[in-house]
Amino acid sequence: MSNFHLPVRDEAEICADVMPRPANLLAVIIVIMVVIVCGGLVACVWIHFRSELNKYEMSTEVLTEELNTAENQVAALTRVVTDQHRDIAEVRKYLTKIKKERNEYRDIVSSLPGVKIPIGKAAKAPRIDAVVTACKKEIKFVVLNVGSEHSVKTGYYFTIFDGGNFVAQVEVEKVLQRLCSTKVIFSTGEIREGMAATTRYY
């Protein structure tokens, strides 16, 4: 038999071989700390990213709502502008009709033989509206319910209408406080009490 024997090692040597050396232990600790720190940084970055993403999503919702509101306002303004254009077109049509009627009226008046309408004097008078209170057709005499209180003066001309139809032209001869007497310059129909009169006939 061989006399070869393994060297006997005591327990302290065996523990020294099994236990990690201090340098290796320090490296392990450093690696663990680095991993922990990196994990914390990654977590912080992720939390910040999620926060910014939530803010962006909220901002997107707010912008979408504001965009919808703006579109509704634009649609409402478009309807208003369309209505205004339609109203303007109707007003222009009405003005065209009025001008046409005025021209027709002037043509009719100018065609009346021997009739001179004092347009210059009538145009100088202010706008005064009145009502026929008395009439004597035999002497072409008409009384109106306006006088000096209404700024009526001698020489003013009033046009008398029956509804919207021209009836007569009269000239103020005498002015009282609340009445004035006029003479008929010309007429195209019968003058009656209650008819409207005005210093503007066009």
CA-based nearest residue to 170, from 149, 133, 144, 193: 144
Are the beta carbons of 103 and 95 closer than 8 angstroms? no
Give helix then strand counts, H and E, for the chain: 3, 6
- Percent of the chain scoring above 70 in pLDDT: 78
* Confidence (pLDDT) at 144: 95
* Confidence (pLDDT) at 21: 58
**Of the candidate ranges 51-60, 107-116, 170-179, the one whose mean pLDDT is the lowest:** 107-116
Instruction: Please state the rounded mean pLDDT for residues 26-31.
Output: 80
Would you say residue 44 has pLDDT above 50?
A: yes
In the chain, where are the structural domains located? 8-111, 119-198
**Whole-structure pTM value:** 0.41
Are the beta carbons of 144 and 178 closer than 8 angstroms? no
* Confidence (pLDDT) at 120: 44
Would you say residue 111 has pLDDT above 70?
A: no
Would you say residue 4 has pLDDT above 70?
A: no
**Residue 160: what residue type?**
I
Is residue 155 exposed (0-12), middle (13-18) or buried (19+ Cβ within 10 Å)?
middle
Helix (H, G, I), strand (E, B) or coil at 159: strand
pLDDT band, very low/low/confident/very high, at 80 (cuts 50, 70, 90) = confident
* Confidence (pLDDT) at 92: 83
* Confidence (pLDDT) at 202: 47
Fold annotation for 119-198: Thrombin, subunit H (2.40.10)
**Of the candidate ranges 5-19, 40-54, 90-104, 119-133, the one whose mean pLDDT is the lowest:** 5-19
Would you say residue 195 has pLDDT above 70?
A: yes
Would you say residue 122 has pLDDT above 80?
A: no
pLDDT band, very low/low/confident/very high, at 15 (cuts 50, 70, 90) = low
What is the average pLDDT value for the chain, to the nearest integer?
80
